[in-house]
Chains A and B, each alone.
Chain A
Amino acid sequence: DIQMTQTPSSMPASLGERVTISCRASQGISNYLNWYQQKPDGTIKPLIYYTSNLQSGVPSRFSGSGSGTDYSLTISSLEPEDFAMYYCQQYDSSPNTFGAGTKLELK
């Protein structure tokens, strides 16, 4: 199975700050990479698909990039509702696998 390593595992940040979450695959995944947000109540919201395509309705402060084994999710200016867990998911090979998550916390 492809292992997805997310860094950092937790990140204290301030409102208005620009943050980047990284996701590294154990082998190349050809941009087959999605991002999801999970709120403390467990609600999961899709954010980005195929590396950089924004889900409809997701604010433009979210963006994704990457290639090969290294991918990232950037939030350009943190809003209060952005403090949550973030997961990457690869679907280059079966089984699709998720990263362990990054917890974005208010500093």
Chain B
Amino acid sequence: QVQLKESGPGLMQPSETLSLTCTVSGFSLTSNGVGWVRQPLGKGLVWMGTIWAGGSTNYNSAVQSRLSISRDTSKSQVFLKMNSLQPEDTGTYYCARHGDSYAHPYWYFDFWGPGTMVTVSS
């Protein structure tokens, strides 16, 4: 079955670079896009960016200058890197699978990982 799982360091210092990994199973990264969505503490969901099945990327302009998303299809992994971390980057980070446009629209997240908490604090 389709699964996604995020991993990464729980605690970061301001100005550091965050590296997260999303490991997927049950589907191919060349068939579906994978997006990153974060949730600041006690707040709502914010889409950060996506790597599509063909390998192209889209980023939210709010974080575009600091964000990079890449993948290793052989390992079924998607990577998020975000530099210049600030305390306001604290929150839970989710990776989620995009629909494939046949069963579901591209911009529908039809499977989600459990999320990983990131705290930015000195």
A contacts, CB < 8 Å to B: 32, 34, 36, 42-46, 49-50, 55, 87, 89, 91, 94-101
Q: Would you call A32 and B107 a contact (CB within 8 A)? A: yes
**For chain B, which range describes its interface: under 10, 10 to 19, 20 to 34, or 35 or more residues?**
20 to 34
Q: In whole Å, how far is B100's beta carbon from the nearest beta carbon of chain A?
A: 12
Q: Would you call B44 and A99 a contact (CB within 8 A)? A: yes
Chain B residues contacting A36 (CB-CB under 8 Å) are 45, 109
Chain A residues contacting B94 (CB-CB under 8 Å) are 44
Q: Quick one: closest B residue to A55, CB to CB? A: B110
B contacts, CB < 8 Å to A: 43-47, 58, 60-62, 92, 94, 96, 99, 104-112, 114-115
Chain A residues contacting B107 (CB-CB under 8 Å) are 32, 34, 89, 91, 96
**Provided the pairs A49-B99, A95-B60 are in contact, do residues A87 and B44 lie with their beta carbons within 8 angstroms?**
yes
Chain B residues contacting A55 (CB-CB under 8 Å) are 110
Chain A residues contacting B112 (CB-CB under 8 Å) are 43-46
Q: Provide a sorted-by-A list of 20 A–B residue pairs whose CB atoms are within 8 angstroms.
A: A32-B105, A34-B105, A34-B108, A36-B109, A42-B115, A43-B112, A44-B94, A44-B96, A44-B109, A44-B112, A46-B110, A49-B108, A49-B110, A50-B105, A50-B108, A91-B105, A95-B62, A97-B46, A100-B44, A101-B44
